[in-house]
């Protein structure tokens, strides 16, 4: 498995992360949650635009305690290594009614502590 560590731009809510190439993860789905379950994860963004017109374009979000952006093929891996991607901590909150994870930004850029 190849890996590449990304340095972060000066942004108080962004965190340093690693880009991994793992072809065995192709087609991997998120696990099913339990009612009321909250898990830590990270969302990965690419800044688009310039100056005051910059917006963050979501690439993907991943469950996990460590910020790992996992590419499933070499083309994706090489493209992500070249981009100015940033990672931000998020909470995944299980929505029992709809059967999927809702993703919520974490205030201050730090994951909340779980009891």
pLDDT digits (tens, 9 = 90+) for 68-105: 999 999 999 999 988 888 899 999 999 999 999 999 98
pLDDT digits (tens, 9 = 90+) for 26-59: 888 889 999 989 999 999 998 888 877 888 889 9
Q: What residue numbers bound the domain in which 81 lies?
A: 2-25+36-107
pLDDT for res 11 = 52
Instruction: Answer whether residue 30 is part of any domain.
Output: no
Q: How far separated are the first and last CA of the chain, in Å rounded?
A: 34
The reported pTM is 0.76
Instruction: Answer whether residue 77 is part of any domain.
Output: yes
- Count of the separate structural domains present in the chain: 1
Percent of the chain with pLDDT over 70: 81
Instruction: Answer whether residue 113 is part of any domain.
Output: no
Instruction: Answer whether residue 61 is part of any domain.
Output: yes
- Environment class of residue 46 by beta-carbon count within 10 Å: exposed (0-12), middle (13-18) or buried (19+)? middle
Instruction: Answer whether residue 21 is part of any domain.
Output: yes
Q: What are the phi and psi torsion angles at 110 (to 5°)? A: -115, 135
Please say whether the beta carbons of 92 and 38 come within 8 A: yes
Kind of pairing between the strands at 38-48 and 55-63: antiparallel
């Amino acid at each position: 498995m190849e890996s590449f560590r990304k340095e972060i731009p000066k942004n108080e809510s962004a965190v340093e992360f690693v880009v991994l190439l793992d072809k065995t993860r192709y087609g991997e789905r998120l696990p099913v949650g339990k009612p009321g379950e909250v898990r830590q994860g990270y969302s990965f963004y690419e800044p688009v635009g310039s100056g005051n017109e910059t917006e963050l374009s979501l690439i993907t979000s991943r469950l996990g305690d460590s910020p790992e952006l996992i590419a499933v093929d070499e083309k994706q891996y090489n493209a992500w290594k070249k981009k100015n991607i940033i990672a931000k901590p998020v909470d995944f909150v299980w929505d029992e009614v709809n059967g999927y994870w809702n993703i919520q930004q974490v205030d201050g850029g730090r994951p909340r502590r779980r009891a």
